[in-house]
């Protein structure tokens, strides 16, 4: 296993522990949730194949589900995000393309690009999560409100972490 | 055949995606089925232990509150016991006629290990499980108020479906008038639940007590749920829309009592013989 592989392996556990023991209890005004573990899939190297992404997405979602007593819910949304990720990365390729072995983080492409990359994916993740959890569209607008407040909360944490934790721009 | 395999291989990402999503959907549907003994939830030993540690740390900060609630409950129970004794002596009824009926409920006290109130489907993990005689389908109360029912048990832990769960329904009555309906949470405010199926001719009043009816054999009758907060009767609607303020603050839950009903099997079997298998 390469050095980055080991780092990713450790970060997997850090994301799970932080999410399940800490962030699960942090809810703003009853409607703002923080699902920072989404960043685990978003920050994997650009060339990671869709199969590996979906496998990892399923694994982390499944583990989070065990803590949340919502078997299948987080796994489903994470697989969805993992599938969309590479298509979205392809759609927003900056001029000149990505460097070989680059990581899609703030350091490699700047804040503006990073927001364009993460915001829609996190939004889709939260929206599907809340809609599936409420089992339908009966609570649609309330779910939308939850989605937007949670989006702001999660994005703040993800961006702050980008500045706080030293990032490598390539593997 | 080869072309088919080539096709599947070319679109392997998409097919894996479909497969995983179908699997997850199956998991979600399985998990929504009422009452089950499952391995992959927070009654899992390792997960519950981790949650317990984290709860122990959190609880440290609210010890004073918890102490106060427990002491208040103790004193109110003691007052009630004393009054009951007095009444029994006065009426000379202190001889038990049917001891089976008299001891039909057994209470197991358990500590809350993990609790959520802010999702659409909330669950509570407690630190008692199969070794204390818990089974799926038992009711849990706290300070005399309804909390939820046991969904799944492991050896040392159990997961309760909280009243604050879109899937949970509890049969109840308006204590003053005796009309019965169903309590279900609407998924938004964690201190208010909906009371459904109260017919037009009933006359609810703000402040009416709502208690469990005892019709579904999970909760004993007369367990307090909450008080009517507001109600509305739309033209042509067959039922009232009633909001009930819960008598219990679920976010501060620290201890629950699980009710073991000794006569549940007997009751279930006679109902099964007469009415048939429950759907």
Angle at A72 between CA B10 and CA B16, to 5 degrees: 5
Distance CA B268, CA B234 (A): 38
Q: What's the whole-number mean pLDDT along residues B36-49?
A: 67
Interface ipTM? 0.76
Q: Which long-range contacts (CB under 8 A, 24 or more apart) does B206-209 make?
A: B206/B230, B206/B231, B208/B174, B208/B175, B208/B176, B208/B177, B209/B174, B209/B175, B209/B176
- CATH fold label, B45-166+252-262: Thrombin, subunit H (2.40.10)
Q: What's the whole-number mean pLDDT along residues A122-140?
A: 83
**Yes or no, beta carbons of B120 and A66 under 8 Å apart:** no
Q: Binning pLDDT at 50, 70 and 90, where does residue B103 land?
A: low
Q: What is the pLDDT of residues B166-225, one digit of tens each?
A: 888 888 888 888 888 888 888 888 889 988 888 888 888 888 888 888 777 678 888 888
Phi-psi label, residue A105: left if phi above 0, alpha if psi -120 to 50, beta otherwise: beta
A21 contacts on B by Cβ (under 8 Å): 50-51, 54
Does residue A162 sit at the B interface (CB-CB below 8 Å)? Answer: no
Q: What is the pLDDT at residue A124?
A: 92
CB B229 within 8 A of CB B204: no
A50 contacts on B by Cβ (under 8 Å): 13, 16-17
> Which residue in the set A21, A69, A73 is minimally distant from B123, CB to CB?
A69
Distance CA A102, CA A107 (A): 10
pLDDT at B39 > cutoff 80: no
Q: What is the pLDDT of residues A102-123, one digit of tens each?
A: 788 877 778 888 888 889 999 9
Distance CA B23, CA B16 (A): 10
**Yes or no, beta carbons of B31 and A72 under 8 Å apart:** yes
Where in chain B are the domains? 45-166+252-262, 169-249
Q: Is B139 helix (H, G, I), strand (E, B) or coil?
A: strand
CATH homologous superfamily, domain B169-249: Rod shape-determining protein MreC, domain 2 (2.40.10.350)
Question: What HEC string does A20-57 produce?
Answer: HHHHHHCCECCCECCCCCHHHHHCCCCCCCHHHHHHHH
Q: How many CB atoms lie within 10 A of CB B243?
A: 17
Q: Do domains B45-166+252-262 and B169-249 have the same CATH topology?
A: yes
Does residue A23 sit at the B interface (CB-CB below 8 Å)? Answer: no
Where in chain A are the domains? 3-164
Q: What is the pLDDT at residue A122?
A: 92
Report residue A57 CA to chain centroid gap: 9
- Best B39, B46, B120 member to test A by mutation, with max A CBs in 10 Å, is B120
Q: What is the pLDDT at residue B100?
A: 60
> Which residue in the set B23, B159, B189 is minimally distant from A69, CB to CB?
B159
- Best B10, B28, B158 member to test A by mutation, with max A CBs in 10 Å, is B28
A13 contacts on B by Cβ (under 8 Å): none
Distance CA B163, CA B253 (A): 12
Longest dimension (CA), chain A: 48
Smallest CA–CA distance, residue A73 to chain B, in Å, is 6
**Yes or no, beta carbons of A71 and B116 under 8 Å apart:** no
Q: What's the whole-number mean pLDDT along residues B213-240?
A: 83
Q: What is the pLDDT at residue B33?
A: 62
């Amino acid at each position: 296993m390469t050095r980055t592989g080991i780092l990713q392996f450790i970060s997997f556990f850090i994301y799970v522990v932080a999410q399940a023991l800490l962030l699960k209890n942090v809810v703003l005004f009853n409607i703002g949730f923080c699902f920072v573990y989404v960043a685990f899939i978003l920050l994997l190297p650009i060339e990671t194949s869709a199969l590996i992404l979906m496998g990892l997405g399923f694994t982390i979602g499944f583990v989070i589900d065990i803590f949340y007593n919502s078997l299948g819910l987080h796994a489903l949304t994470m697989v969805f995000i993992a599938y969309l990720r590479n298509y979205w990365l392809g759609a927003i390729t900056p001029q000149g393309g990505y460097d070989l072995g680059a990581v899609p983080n703030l350091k490699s492409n700047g804040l503006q690009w990073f927001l364009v990359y993460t915001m829609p994916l996190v939004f889709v993740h939260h929206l599907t999560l809340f809609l599936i959890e409420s089992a339908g569209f009966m609570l649609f607008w309330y779910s939308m409100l939850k989605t937007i407040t949670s989006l702001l909360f999660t994005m703040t944490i993800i961006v702050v972490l980008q500045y706080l934790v030293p990032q490598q721009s390539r593997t | 055949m080869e072309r088919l395999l080539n096709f599947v291989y070319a679109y392997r990402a998409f097919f894996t995606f479909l497969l995983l999503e179908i699997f997850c959907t199956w998991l979600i549907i399985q998990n929504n089925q009422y009452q089950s003994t499952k391995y992959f939830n927070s009654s899992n030993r390792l997960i519950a232990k981790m949650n317990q540690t984290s709860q122990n740390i959190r609880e440290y900060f609210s010890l004073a509150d918890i102490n106060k609630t427990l002491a208040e409950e103790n004193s109110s129970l003691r007052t009630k016991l004393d009054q009951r004794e007095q009444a029994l002596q006065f009426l000379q009824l202190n001889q038990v006629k049917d001891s089976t009926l008299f001891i039909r409920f057994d209470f197991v006290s358990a500590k809350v290990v993990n609790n959520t109130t802010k999702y659409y489907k909330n669950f509570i993990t407690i630190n008692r499980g199969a070794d204390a005689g818990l089974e799926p389908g038992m009711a849990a109360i706290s300070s005399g108020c309804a909390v939820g029912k046991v969904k799944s048990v492991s050896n040392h832990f159990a997961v309760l479906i909280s009243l604050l769960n879109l899937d949970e329904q509890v049969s109840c009555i308006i204590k003053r008038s005796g009309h019965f309906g169903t309590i279900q949470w609407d998924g938004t405010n964690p201190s208010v639940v909906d009371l459904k199926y109260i017919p037009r001719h009933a006359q609810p009043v703000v402040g009416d007590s709502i208690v469990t009816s005892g019709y579904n054999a999970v909760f004993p009758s007369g367990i307090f749920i909450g008080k009517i907060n507001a109600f509305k009767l739309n033209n042509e609607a067959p039922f009232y829309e009633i909001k009930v303020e819960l008598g219990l603050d679920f976010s501060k839950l620290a201890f629950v009592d699980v009710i073991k009903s000794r006569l549940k099997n007997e009751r279930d079997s006679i109902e099964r013989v007469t009415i048939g298998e429950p759907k």
